[in-house]
């Protein structure tokens, strides 16, 4: 095997990095995952994740974790309501009596990020993840790499894989290509104890998702298993709006005042998102890697997930792409097809970039359509079609 007597370092303990670690360990590879969080329970943010049969679920099947996923996914969390700014429901999947099942290509079961992370962590050998490892420097060391972390700790590896997201510290070692701004900025937030703090939206969400579209803006609300609601506003903004606005996004009152102005004419129900002083928001300008990006394959270095092909979330492919990257990279590194690690990486990267380019094109088109007049009608038609899906 190409990885015999080689130490693999994966920087980043998200779904992509952890899936890769599991798949490589199944084949006997020596793997360490370096994660900046101080523990497995420190920071589990974001909404629910819908896994697709041909990508995220395929990776879990190969990893032998589909039964664990079945035990922890949230039936019904994939059901969607489409509304206008007045919260008038235009399409309601909760009224659909059909029951998709595992093995159906259209079935996209949802799971919260926390349970998915625990499934993957529990599948790894003890000591695989090195917590509290904030990478600050990487430099060549012989035929491999030396990693230096905040606090001065170091590690070495023969093969280095960047699974460290949008602000990857590994990517610049491979290419200077940077992402471009998509034109849309998201404001992300969480409402804890939604029964108490957002009762009308809790009822409207019905344990699933709401997509509200109007005035060339989007508002997505997702229920989580812990009783919270995560939400994302989407607006066309200048790239530096978040920095230049002067808004303290940790102050719910300031964000609420911005929302009332930016979403003027929207129903008062949406203001429940900002009613609790415990709500904390984060502005996220949305970027995308160039569709034609390329770089020469290296003998001991590669990327997966957002580090490789960052894109906006409006096609719902982020975590699925990362987990499929992990599956394909693991297969390339552990099969007998390639004479060298570099040849295996080259094959993986060529197919990964082609696949990501096609999805990024679709994502950019979706991003534009959802932030343009007529977006609600477009989505109603899309989701009303057989097997219609976006996120």
Which residue positions form the known binding site for FAD? 50, 113, 306
Tell me which residue of 39, 32, 38 sits closest to 8, measured CA to CA: 32
d(CA 25, CA 27): 5
Query: Is 84 buried (19+), middle (13-18) or exposed (0-12) by CB count in 10 A?
Result: middle
| Listed residue (81, 116, 16, 75) closest to 356, CA to CA | 16
In this structure, the strands spanning 30-34 and 7-11 are: parallel
What would the DSSP string read from start to end of 327-375? HHHHHHHHSSS-SSHHHHHHHHHHHHHHHHHHHHHHHHHHHHHHTSTTH
CB 312 within 8 A of CB 363: yes
* Contact by Cβ (8 Å): 201, 190: no
* Residue indicated by tokens 């600050």: 136
Q: Which residues carry a binding-site annotation for NADPH?
A: 43
Burial of 243 (0-12, 13-18, 19+ CB in 10 A): exposed
Instruction: Order the strands of the 7-11 sheet from edge to edge.
Output: 129-130, 30-34, 7-11, 159-162, 301-303
Q: How many CB atoms lie within 10 A of CB 198?
A: 27
d(CA 225, CA 112): 7
Residue 179 tokens, joined:
């992402």
Binding residues: 43, 50, 113, 306
Nearest CA among 169, 149, 148, 145 for reference residue 157: 145
CA angle 303, 304, 308 (to 5 degrees): 70
CB 346 within 8 A of CB 354: no
């Amino acid at each position: 095997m190409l990885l015999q007597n080689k130490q693999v370092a994966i920087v980043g303990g998200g779904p992509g990095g952890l899936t890769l670690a599991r798949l490589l360990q199944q084949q006997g590879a020596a793997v360490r995952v370096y994660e900046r969080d101080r523990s497995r329970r420190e920071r589990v943010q974001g909404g629910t994740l819908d896994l697709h049969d041909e990508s995220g679920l395929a990776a879990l099947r190969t990893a032998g974790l589909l039964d664990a996923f079945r035990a922890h996914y949230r039936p019904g969390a994939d059901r969607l309501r489409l509304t206008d700014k007045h919260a008038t429901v235009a399409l309601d999947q909760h009224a659909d009596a059909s029951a998709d099942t595992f093995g159906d290509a259209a079935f996209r079961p949802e799971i919260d990020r926390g349970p998915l992370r625990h499934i993957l962590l529990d599948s790894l050998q003890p000591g695989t993840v090195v917590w509290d490892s904030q990478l600050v420097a990487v430099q060549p060391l012989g035929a491999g790499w030396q990693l230096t972390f905040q606090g001065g700790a170091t590690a070495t590896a023969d093969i280095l894989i960047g699974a460290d997201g949008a602000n990857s510290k590994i990517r610049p070692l491979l290419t200077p290509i940077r992402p471009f701004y998509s034109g849309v900025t998201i404001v992300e937030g969480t409402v804890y104890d939604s029964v108490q703090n957002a009762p009308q939206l809790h009822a409207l969400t019905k344990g699933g998702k709401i997509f509200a579209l109007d005035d060339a803006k989007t508002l997505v609300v997702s229920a989580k298993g812990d009783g919270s609601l995560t939400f994302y506003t989407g607006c066309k903004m200048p790239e530096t709006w978040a920095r230049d606005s002067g808004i303290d996004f940790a102050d719910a009152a300031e964000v609420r005042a911005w929302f009332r102005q930016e979403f003027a004419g929207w129903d008062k129900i949406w203001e429940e998102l900002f009613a609790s002083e415990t709500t904390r928001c984060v502005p996220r300008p949305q970027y995308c890697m160039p569709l034609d990006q390329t770089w020469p394959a290296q003998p001991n270095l590669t990327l997966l997930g957002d580090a490789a092909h960052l894109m906006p979330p409006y096609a719902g492919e982020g975590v699925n792409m990362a987990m499929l990257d992990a599956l394909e990279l693991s297969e390339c590194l552990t099969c007998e097809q390639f004479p060298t690690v570099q040849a295996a990486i080259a094959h993986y990267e060529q197919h990964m970039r082609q696949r990501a380019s096609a999805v990024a094109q679709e994502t950019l088109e979706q991003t534009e359509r959802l932030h343009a007049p007529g977006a609600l009608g477009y989505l109603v038609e899309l989701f009303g079609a057989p097997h219609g899906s976006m996120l």
